[in-house]
Structure 1
Amino acid sequence: MASKGTTTVSTVKTDDGVNLHVKVLGDDSTKKKPLLISLHGAPGLSTHMEPEASFAFLSDIFRVLVYDARGSGISDHIGPYTHDRWIKDVEILREWAGAEKFVLAGASYGSFIALDYAVLHGDRLNGLILRGAWADGKLGPMNALANILTSPKVKVDKARQVRVWSGTLHNDEDYSAALQEILPFYTPPEDESATATKEEKPESTEFLGVVKLYSATQNFAFSVNMPRFDVRDQLHTIKAPTLVVVGRHDHVTPVEYSQEIADKIPHARLEIFEKSGHSPPSDEPQKFEAVLADWLKAEVLPALK
């Protein structure tokens, strides 16, 4: 374990021997601060750096725990890569952090795991934050693929994009090529971009920290997990205060998907970011931080006192 200021970097071993690379921002040795765990998106592609960039500003109030999920980043690449296993890893990290209850945030694919967690373990949540979500794993990927294939923003190898969204990539190089050709699809139109310059802002926080891509993780997620993922009829059971965030120009997880989720979760607030694509935290960072801080102050923090 190594400490850097108020950040602690650890390797946490799970019950099946897998090592997870974990960072806790705003670490508190007394563990008096409430815990927020944030799940990155893009299995086999994204890392802890995406949620770290999005939620570091909360480290004065929360212990913000971010990590590379098994199969991603520098955590071990040992399956299974099922939602049940990824959820069990969340539980291990919650217990490791010494929290009975916590706030769970999920971005993009991480929001699917967060939704499944909320259905299974809703009594352990002080709050739920979802960004770029859908509730139907059969319809969602097919709609994303259709939007990519008809988008004027990108020119793609159609067969390769079919492989991405069906979980049948040939190898890691195939995954890398597929990603490179669709990066512009994740961003808002140029005239809707936030005040940050293109040089100052990455294409999307979704892909921060990528060193190597792992197609095996992506393939399992989209060939096995997604066809089984459907929480539409269970959303009403989620009782935790929920913030649902989506960009107006998000064509991967369009606004109507977030609207459906917010409508069915009893205590949910939908926030549409009018100048954002798939990643409001990087497209409209100031607004994202303000909205999140306001929601936490109104819906979550009072219950923690």
Structure 2
Amino acid sequence: MAKTPLILLPGTLCDERLWGHQLKYLSDIAEVTIGDVTKEDSISSLAHSILEKAPERFALAGLSLGGIISLEIMRIAPERVIKLALLDTNPNPPHYDQIAVWERFINMANNGQFLDITINHLLPILIHPNRRKDEALVSMIIDMAKKIGKESYINQLKAVMTRLDQRSILSTIACPTMVLVGKEDMVCPVHMSKFLTESIPTASLEIIEHSGHLSTLEQPEKVSALLKGWLKS
């Protein structure tokens, strides 16, 4: 039986390790690739760059920034996506307060404080409170940020700062869709995923207990099992 082509899109400051467990767990039924979400500074350009390298038809899953890019792919080429999974993501346009924070982060990054952003500003809201003393998890998150680097992070911030309102395309999504969110996600709270589920006609919702924003790392077994069920359905 042929494996399903599956593209996984990471979130901001995350590399392939965000999907480490899923890469292994889904390899028996899927031909998995990790999309590059670092080289462009607009959501549209990132979506086009993914599509240029993608198979003709494929399953697509994205977390946070990866979910925003996934929704843009659904705007550009919905006929190419067999199944869609949106993890811990947000279809809304940016608001003024968010843009102000991201502009401050760009200034910090350009002034030698790049890692300070992850360590002191992002980590406290990225993961479940019970995991903040998990040295292996925290070290991985910091190391992923180091690997992504300042320039790519600034690209990602510029992309989310200028993104479009994606709410209008949700009702047009026709492929089987799973929406998944960590119950304690402080970055993209549960109400955003409930809105996605209510707005996408084919969507179902999974809420992951004891997880913040990085659900694939915080509850990898649960997320992988749900993704396998989604792929098989």
Specify the TM-score bucket, using the shorter chain as the normaliser.
0.7 to 0.9
Q: CA distance change for structure 1 residues 49 and 224 in 2, over 3 Å: closer, same or farther?
A: closer
User: Which residue of structure 1 lines up, in the alignment, with residue 168 of structure 2?
Assistant: 233
User: Which residue of structure 1 lines up, in the alignment, with residue 104 of structure 2?
Assistant: 163
**Structure 1 residue 50 and structure 2 residue 6: aligned?**
no
Q: 1:107 aligns with which of 40, 43, 63?
A: 63
Residue 77 of structure 2 aligns to a residue whose secondary structure is helix
1:165-184 aligned within 5 A: 167-171=106-110, 173-182=112-121, 183-184=123-124
C-alpha separation between the residues in 1 aligned to 2:145 and 2:22?
16
Asked if the contact 1:246/1:280 (under 8 Å) is kept, the reply is yes
Residue 203 of structure 1 aligns to a residue whose secondary structure is helix
Unaligned runs of 5+ in 2: none
Instruction: Kindly provide the CA deviation profile for residues 17-58 of structure 1, in whole angstroms up to 9, marking residues without a partner as x.
Output: xxxxxxxxxxxxxx942200011111xx32222223333310
Instruction: Kindly provide the CA deviation profile for residues 84-118 of structure 1, in whole angstroms up to 9, marking residues without a partner as x.
Output: 22112211221xxxx32100111111111011111
Q: 1:269 aligns with which of 204, 214, 226?
A: 204
User: Which residue of structure 2 lines up, in the alignment, with residue 17 of structure 1?
Assistant: none
Q: 1:89 aligns with which of 35, 46, 49?
A: 49
C-alpha separation between the residues in 2 aligned to 1:47 and 1:271?
24
User: Which residue of structure 2 lines up, in the alignment, with residue 7 of structure 1?
Assistant: none
Cα deviation for residue 284 of structure 1 reads 1.8
Q: CA distance change for structure 1 residues 114 and 208 in 2, over 3 Å: closer, same or farther?
A: farther
User: Which residue of structure 2 lines up, in the alignment, with residue 41 of structure 1?
Assistant: 11
Asked if the contact 2:38/2:153 (under 8 Å) is kept, the reply is no
Unaligned runs of 5+ in 1: 1-30, 72-79, 146-158, 299-305
AA partner of residue 116 (structure 2): A
Cα deviation for residue 67 of structure 1 reads 4.2
**Structure 1 residue 203 and structure 2 residue 144: aligned?**
no
C-alpha separation between the residues in 1 aligned to 2:208 and 2:81?
25
Q: 1:260 aligns with which of 195, 199, 217?
A: 195
Structure-1-length-normalised TM-score:
0.67
**Structure 1 residue 63 and structure 2 residue 31: aligned?**
yes
C-alpha separation between the residues in 2 aligned to 1:132 and 1:171?
28
C-alpha separation between the residues in 2 aligned to 1:247 and 1:289?
14
User: Which residue of structure 1 lines up, in the alignment, with residue 153 of structure 2?
Assistant: 218
Q: 1:250 aligns with which of 148, 167, 185?
A: 185
Matched residues, number: 231
Q: CA distance change for structure 1 residues 121 and 292 in 2, over 3 Å: closer, same or farther?
A: same
C-alpha separation between the residues in 2 aligned to 1:138 and 1:107?
17
User: Which residue of structure 1 lines up, in the alignment, with residue 82 of structure 2?
Assistant: 126
AA partner of residue 86 (structure 2): L
RMSD: 2.8
Q: CA distance change for structure 1 residues 131 and 206 in 2, over 3 Å: closer, same or farther?
A: farther
Cα deviation for residue 174 of structure 1 reads 2.0
AA partner of residue 175 (structure 1): F
User: Which residue of structure 2 lines up, in the alignment, with residue 292 of structure 1?
Assistant: 227
Instruction: State percent identity of aligned pairs.
Output: 29
C-alpha separation between the residues in 2 aligned to 1:204 and 1:119?
36
Which has the larger helix fraction? 2
C-alpha separation between the residues in 2 aligned to 1:234 and 1:68?
23
AA partner of residue 124 (structure 2): P
C-alpha separation between the residues in 1 aligned to 2:228 and 2:75?
25
Structure-2-length-normalised TM-score:
0.86
Asked if the contact 1:35/1:62 (under 8 Å) is kept, the reply is yes
Asked if the contact 2:84/2:175 (under 8 Å) is kept, the reply is yes
AA partner of residue 154 (structure 2): N
Q: CA distance change for structure 1 residues 257 and 163 in 2, over 3 Å: closer, same or farther?
A: same
AA partner of residue 64 (structure 1): V
